[in-house]
Structure 1
Amino acid sequence: MLKNRLIQSLLLLILIPPAHAQEPEVFVQLGDSQMVKSVAFSPDGLLALSGSWDNTLKLWDVNSGREIRTFKGHSSSVFAVAFSNDGRLALSGSRDNTLKLWEVQSGREIRTFKGHSSYVFAVAFSNDGRLALSGSRDNTLKLWEVESGREIRTFKGHSSNVLAVAFSNDGLLALSGSLDKMLKLWDVESGREIRTFKGHSSFVFGVAFSNDGLLALSGSGSLYDDDNTLKLWDVNSGQEIRTFKGHSEIVQVVTFSNDGLLALSGSWDNTLKLWDVNSGREIRTLKGHSDSVLGVDFSPDGRQILSGSIDNTLKLWDVNSGREIRTFKGHSDDVQSVAFSPDGLLVLSGSGSASDENDNTLKLWAVDSGRLIRTFKGHSDDVNAVAYSPDGRLALSASDDKTLKLWAIDSGRLIRTFKGHSDDV
């Protein structure tokens, strides 16, 4: 089935054995498969955002599962999505090498950020919504000014694809994970590399800061290594605190709950796992997806979980019971990324595919009904990542078209395109 196609594609097209000098590529060409790659809650927990390999983002009503809106504009798969903290904006990253910023309420594409020379795998908003961060297959991170679309600086240091990025809550630090098996901590103001976290024996697919900025979480794995673990790190010292074991395949995505007591992971073994951060104990496994889980997010109140999968769906879960509450359907390709709006009323999703025949959009959804509100169109390739601005009025997207785009949530208007990456964002 699709999982077999995924593994075969990775083996044949992507993962070159370690003995070769060339670094492997990360993402998959699967023809007509329609993966949900990334997911995110709005800050109020009422909306969810997803990014897919159908090149779109979708916004969902969490309570009803209704698709609210589809965001179209990317010309290839959407790998990452994020809400601004106010829930008005969404950000997406795509295989079209761009990020896009979207207005959540309208689905309007506000802006495209161009500059990466290859796929945009990861995007993040700073808490104040002024800055955006992207990670790319061109081995760099880029820092962007959201209002103008200006590229502020490029962070160089990784020797291979940057697969994950995160801001600390105060916006002073950035964290990245890479195909080079390392995490790196950066000073945002200067672009200086502060430290490297070493310990994983395989690719680092996911990274996250705790809300207090004292801890970092990473997820790892590959097809020729049995790492498939999460690791907890002390940010100040770089020391590894503990390893979380339980997944049987690659850990694609990780995040903390707002109180920092729980960790959540999504894996190629088709499951999500909930962990006790202090003890490393596995609390429960969430089963329901029929293929790899590529995106996860906690609702702002910590009571619900959102996931996106290669099976083209988003799922909403109850944290306490592990019960599946609702499935969101609407993307025609893989959902690459999802994000809740800050008020939790909306969900933004980004989509796309390695195929060039898809719509490369973001979609905005109403959480309570599941209604599709709007589709954001503008990227010319996959949307890899999306994010909301803190006030929820703007959305930022990153794409394989080497740009970021800034969008107005209310209207769906494209405000600005950020150019500067020489590879996929």
Structure 2
Amino acid sequence: MEPPECPVCLQSYDGESTLPRVLSCGHTACEECLTNIPKKFPDTIRCPACTVLVNFPPQGPSALPKNIDLLRLLPSTSTLAPPPGESTRNSKKPSFEFVARSWPDDFYAAWKDRVLLLDAVSVEREEGSDFSSSSSSSSTRLCGCLKKGDDLKVSLLRVGSFQRRDDGCDSVFEFSYVLRMISCLWEMGEEERDELDVIMGVVEQRGVSKVFGLWGDLENGVLYLVGERLADFSWEEFEDIGEDDDALCLLAVMGMQLCEAFLSLHKEGVSVGCLSVSCVKFDEFGNVFVDLIELLETGREVYGLVSEETSSCGKPVGAFEMGLVLKRLVKNGVFMSFEVLFELLRKQNLLMTQSSSGCMVSYSSDVWPVCFLLIMLIGGKRFSEELTESVSGVDAKECEKEIEDLLVLYTCLIEKLNSTLESKLSGKFKPMVEILRQCCCLDPQARPVLTDLWKCNRGMVMNHRFSSMFALEKKKPGKRKEFCLVLGELCRLVVVGSREVEEDLPEEGEVDKDFVGKLSQGKIKSQDLQGHQDSVTGLAVGDDFLFSSSLDKNIHVWTLKDFSHVHTFKGHQDKVMALIYIKGAESVCVSGDGGGGIFVWSTSFPLEEQPLRKWYEPKDWRYSGIHALAYSEDGYVYSGSGDNTIKAWSLQDGRLVCTMTGHKSVVSTLVVLNGVLYSGSWDGTVRLWSLSDHSFLTVLGEETQGIVRSILSLAADEGTLVAAYQNGDIQIWRDETSMKSMQIQSSAILSVALNGKWLFTGGWDKTVNIQEVSGDEISLDCTHVGSIPGSSVVTSLLYWEGKLFAGFADKTIKVYYSGR
């Protein structure tokens, strides 16, 4: 058998260089290691064996006693017994989910920062906006303001639906705003989320309008994509542009910026497929931007136009119906490459002829709509009207009746368009007309690329001898999945003008009734426990019973099987302020009242009305009764009092063992964890006391100098300590290191409960708030999961095996559980 060794350096004790020293917890480490261990607080050290915080002499480890028995019995095979409570600490407690989530942690981490705050956006509805001024149909656009310093104008695009705030639901639990949005995203299809991810990732690209994030309208149950809203295009600015050389140069600059915007989208794997005048926006400096929100709106309206023109035929479309679709698109100022329209109809199974070849949509599909938009701007509003008339003159009957090849109809349309362009645009615009002819090629691979169109516009602005100074970087294949915006799932979510709406997105006012069920895998239900005649002050669980104390001076006992009332402990002459359960050879319930009485009740069946024993705390002029109770496995009951002290009592006979002083106000709450007694006070501090000798260890909360926040409740679990304050704040420590401070409520938090990752708080706002605590020793995150509204002030909380017990000031106790 190897000789005993130091648990830090793993060197065997030899009585000289590796000298064993005994800490107050009973564990041993070598003198050198105890000297070098970092000490977070003065005169304390964390034991390297059991990690309990213990006293450490200011003189150093030489003042600690040597482990003489260990030196004498170095070859001994005996092992040191762990101190009381260590086995309890190291044992893994079973985990019970209060609210089960359907999404993984990495999904939440990826999307939570993309959800805007609930009050970040104000909504207004804008009527009468359309594709162009010549459009005969009007649509509704949602816009608003983003409350970010100076209010920014934004556009809103509906992308999802969730349960509205005022919809009836038999679940008492209300999920937090952020988690409701996360759930809505999780219920989306993977392709929809991928598109959103890409769209929100192009915000830094040149020439593309910003997308700020996602925002949920709780009143209507709609999830919106929020984007920057810039100045709209105006036809009046382009009247008679062909007669003005300066205006021609300006238009060429616009063409360059438009090409740069689309090339930026291509870098992110996004092709657009179609374009309209409404998608072109201007910033305050006159720079051209492509509006992503408007592009998606345009795509949705294209689906609506196609649906309107094809719904009446009741069969797959042929050349005639195809002609109607093309005319309607041109009339509404929508410019779309033929292969994109062909693919759109094919995906909707609307074509008589289904091509066996693969999809021909690519980045080249964006050249035609961009170039055609520029020609529309050159020709002005009158040219737009004439072009619409010329397209309306195309008759599908010109095609042979037996031929259903839609390319023939498209060729007829292109010929008429080219003849119109040749007659209306010549001279200075000849280079642009020539490149348009090439862009109209039916083979996407034979068209010029956007960089060629960019160069054409640049040549109209500057001298060719400077051309070598500028060059566009060619697009490199990226890791992102490539997709066409107008053919994507986001454009198919809502079909404007059609009676059919995707099942994933209900009509306005409709909601997914099973939303709560999908999120929590079971609705949160409640059961009321009635019996007290005044406010509930404490809750405890043990021996298959729930114990509750009240200002009515009684302790009620309820069975955990069906939550029925089984017994009442009577005897207190004053209001009962604190309650704990102690498991042991003789399990008992201990209660403390406002008159200083501490009563011990047997929990063995049959239950008795009278206490096993009782004793009273001595009073003085500052006395205001017992405010808190705690118990250690050493057999001591600790009471926190209104005289600013903590007292240790022997559970066996009620003997006062010692009095611990140091707090400057009422000791309101006590917690025992890992060999340390934590005491919280109205003075705003948490003091730590050694359970082995009841000596003071250190103080927490003094880092907020000049700010006094009374501590009303403490909760601790697995090295994590949470303090709740009268101003609605909580503070979280891990191993006595402050990790997080945040406001949970706007008013006092009267009770806090912690179990694993679940943190529950309740108080004056009559609501139980639920947080999920996650992280490690370096960082900690506290996520608001949801809330349970109540009808009265929440006075006490207890979480046990997946059930939440809450006591209220209106005399009731509620049990919340998942109704799976």
Matches within 5 A, 1:293-372: 293-299=711-717, 301=718, 303-319=719-735, 322-341=736-755, 344-352=756-764, 358=765, 360-368=766-774, 369-372=781-784
Note the C-alpha offset of 1:346. Answer: 1.0
Q: Determine the C-alpha separation between the residues in 2 that align with 1:309 and 1:363.
A: 14
Contact 2:172 2:526 in 1 (8 A): no
1:376 to 757, 763, 788: 788
Could you say if the C-alpha distance between residues 107 and 165 of structure 1 is closer, same or farther in structure 2, counting changes exceeding 3 Å? farther
Amino acid at match of 1:229: T
Contact 1:168 1:211 in 2 (8 A): no
The answer to whether the aligner puts 1:220 opposite 2:641 as a matched pair is yes
Q: Could you tell me which residue of structure 2 aligns to residue 423 of structure 1?
A: none
Q: Determine the C-alpha separation between the residues in 2 that align with 1:105 and 1:315.
A: 31
Contact 2:727 2:746 in 1 (8 A): no
Amino acid at match of 2:794: V
Could you say if the C-alpha distance between residues 120 and 106 of structure 1 is closer, same or farther in structure 2, counting changes exceeding 3 Å? farther
Matches within 5 A, 1:88-167: 108-126=524-542, 130-167=544-581
Contact 1:363 1:376 in 2 (8 A): yes
Q: Could you tell me which residue of structure 1 aligns to residue 602 of structure 2?
A: 187
Which deviations, in whole Å up to 9, do the C-alpha atoms of 1:230-285 show, x marking residues without a partner? 0111101111111110001100111211x4x2111010111110111222221111
Amino acid at match of 2:797: V
Amino acid at match of 1:114: Q
Could you say if the C-alpha distance between residues 105 and 188 of structure 1 is closer, same or farther in structure 2, counting changes exceeding 3 Å? farther
Amino acid at match of 1:275: W
Backbone CA RMSD of aligned residues: 3.0
Note the C-alpha offset of 1:147. Answer: 3.1
Q: Could you tell me which residue of structure 2 aligns to residue 178 of structure 1?
A: 593
1:286 to 681, 700, 710: 700
Note the C-alpha offset of 1:347. Answer: 0.9
Q: Determine the C-alpha separation between the residues in 2 that align with 1:284 and 1:72.
A: 42
Which deviations, in whole Å up to 9, do the C-alpha atoms of 1:397-421 show, x marking residues without a partner? 111121111111x46x9xxxxxxxx
Say which structure, 1 or 2, has more relative contact order (CA 8 Å, 6+ apart). Answer: 1
Q: Determine the C-alpha separation between the residues in 1 that align with 2:94 and 2:708.
A: 25
Could you say if the C-alpha distance between residues 109 and 376 of structure 1 is closer, same or farther in structure 2, counting changes exceeding 3 Å? farther
> With structure 1 as the length reference, what TM-score do the two structures score?
0.64
1:198 to 599, 607, 616: 616
Instruction: State the SS of the aligned residue for 1:219.
Output: strand
Contact 1:125 1:132 in 2 (8 A): yes
Matches within 5 A, 1:227-306: 227-257=643-673, 259=674, 261-287=675-701, 288=704, 290-299=708-717, 301=718, 303-306=719-722
Note the C-alpha offset of 1:109. Answer: 4.0
Note the C-alpha offset of 1:108. Answer: 2.4
Q: Could you tell me which residue of structure 2 aligns to residue 224 of structure 1?
A: none
5+ residue gaps, structure 2, are: 1-91, 99-104, 114-170, 174-519, 775-780
Say which structure is richer in helix. Answer: 2
Instruction: State the SS of the aligned residue for 1:193.
Output: coil
Q: Determine the C-alpha separation between the residues in 2 that align with 1:381 and 1:136.
A: 15
Q: Determine the C-alpha separation between the residues in 1 that align with 2:522 and 2:615.
A: 41
Q: Determine the C-alpha separation between the residues in 1 that align with 2:693 and 2:783.
A: 40
2:630 to 208, 213, 222: 208
Identity value in percent: 23
Contact 1:364 1:374 in 2 (8 A): yes
Q: Determine the C-alpha separation between the residues in 1 that align with 2:522 and 2:751.
A: 19
Q: Determine the C-alpha separation between the residues in 2 that align with 1:311 and 1:275.
A: 26
Which deviations, in whole Å up to 9, do the C-alpha atoms of 1:140-175 show, x marking residues without a partner? 111112332211111111111100001112482000
Q: Determine the C-alpha separation between the residues in 2 that align with 1:364 and 1:347.
A: 6
5+ residue gaps, structure 1, are: 1-42, 50-60, 74-103, 222-226, 353-357, 414-425
The answer to whether the aligner puts 1:386 opposite 2:800 as a matched pair is no
Instruction: State the SS of the aligned residue for 1:118.
Output: coil
Contact 1:146 1:406 in 2 (8 A): no
Greater gyration radius: 2
Q: Determine the C-alpha separation between the residues in 2 that align with 1:374 and 1:219.
A: 32
Instruction: State the SS of the aligned residue for 2:531.
Output: strand
Note the C-alpha offset of 1:107. Answer: 8.0
Amino acid at match of 1:296: L
Contact 2:713 2:752 in 1 (8 A): yes
Note the C-alpha offset of 1:380. Answer: 2.2
Q: Determine the C-alpha separation between the residues in 2 that align with 1:109 and 1:376.
A: 10
Instruction: State the SS of the aligned residue for 2:640.
Output: strand
Could you say if the C-alpha distance between residues 211 and 364 of structure 1 is closer, same or farther in structure 2, counting changes exceeding 3 Å? farther
